[in-house]
Amino acid sequence: MDALEFNKIAAGLLVGLLLAFGIGKLVNTLYGPAVEHAAPEHAEDMMADAEAVDETPTVEVPAVLVPIATLLASADLANGEKQFRKCKSCHSVEAGGRDGQGPNLYGVVGAPQGHRDTFNYSDVIAGLGGTWTFEELSLYITDPKGYAPGNKMVFKGISDDEDRADLIAWLNTQSDAPLALPDDAADDTSLDDTSMLEPSDAEDRPIEDPVLALITGASAEEGGRVARACRACHTFTPGGANRVGPNLWNMVDRNIASVKGYTYSDALDAESGTWTWRRLWTYLENPRMDVPGGKMGFRGIADEEDRAAVIAWMGTLSNDPSPFARIE
């Protein structure tokens, strides 16, 4: 190998190395990790500003419960029929239709719960003993498993209020005798009715008890929202069925363990007195501790404002609500 040829090879190797080094630097500059800079002189002030922004809380506004009567008044039957497509794989709806994985639903609105002799219901549904009113259907379709834990329904439910009301309104038309839609202005099944909560002279009476002040100042509407957790075991309407727990209509100022047709635990059955606001306050805080041996599986409502709101809401569940300040 002569000197000229050697120089050519050496020059080629050098150029290759330079290219590799240069390309590596370029890639690192464009895509590599950012260079760590020294902290600026006012770094602590900058961090303080950043933390102040990051700690701003996000306020979540709770959804307002809309009474089913209000929703039914403006129901879209065409959309209701569309919503039923979600049910078709398990249910038929024509008159005389066959049962599938679920029962035929013709005439279901207003029918007794678990009413079809041709369908093998779960023990939970068969034991409800109530009626598929507009309100009960709405509660059930919202969350089938929450309404009747242990039932065979695999459908998760329809959380959208308008879609659910549209479906129920359409189901009502699938009947030999469709029911009249409930009157929005006189909807007894609303969980948001606060008109009967306090007497007209409530503001004139001094309130000395701090717990009573919480209850009389609470929002019954908010209490209805908190009480959603109770729907799995209780009904709230006049003549509503007993479930895992008793119907709660007219519960405030009622004798303890006095709902007809419900089998209470020996522990609660042995309790004397009435469900005054003060008695409800201690019981709902921790049912198991307040009545050891009771059947209540619910752990209670630790938050005092939520508990007060639920008791205020329970005060509206009556044809003749008693003013809380007069219940001793």
Write down the pLDDT at residue 2: 64
pLDDT per residue as tens digits for the range 284-319:
999 989 999 888 888 899 999 999 999 989 988 888
Flag whether pLDDT at 166 surpasses 90: yes
22 — pLDDT class (breaks 50, 70, 90): low
Nearest 5 degrees, angle CA 322-CA 323-CA 326?
100
Write down the pLDDT at residue 210: 85
pLDDT per residue as tens digits for the range 226-277:
888 888 888 988 888 888 899 999 998 889 999 999 999 999 999 988 998 8
The domains of the chain, with CATH numbers, are: 68-185 (1.10.760.10), 202-326 (1.10.760.10)
Q: Could you give the CA distance from residue 21 to residue 17 in angstroms, rounded to a whole number?
A: 6
pLDDT per residue as tens digits for the range 168-196:
999 999 999 999 988 764 444 444 444 44
Flag whether pLDDT at 4 surpasses 80: no
Write down the pLDDT at residue 325: 40
Report the pLDDT averaged over residues 91-114. Answer: 93
Report the pLDDT averaged over residues 81-94. Answer: 93
pLDDT per residue as tens digits for the range 39-82:
333 333 333 343 334 343 333 333 445 678 888 999 999 999 99
Report the pLDDT averaged over residues 105-126. Answer: 92
Q: Is residue 155 within 8 Å of residue 90, measured between CB atoms?
A: yes
Percentage of the chain modeled with pLDDT above 90: 36
> Any idea which residue has 């050098």 for tokens?
14
Across 7-11, 22-26, 128-132, least confident range: 22-26
Instruction: With 0.85 as the threshold, say if the pTM is over it.
Output: no
Q: Phi-psi category of 183—alpha, beta or left, where left has phi over 0 and alpha has psi -120 to 50? A: beta
Q: Could you give the CA distance from residue 114 to residue 121 in angstroms, rounded to a whole number?
A: 6
Q: For residue 215, what are the CA distances in angstroms to 46, 251, 278, 310, 311?
A: 46, 16, 10, 9, 7
Q: Backbone phi, then psi, for 255, in 5-degree steps?
A: -60, 140
203 — pLDDT class (breaks 50, 70, 90): very low
Report which DSSP code applies to 40: P
Closest CA to 105 of 135, 79, 130, 132: 132
Q: What is the DSSP string of 204-239?
A: GS----HHHHHHHTS-HHHHHHHGGGGTTT---STT
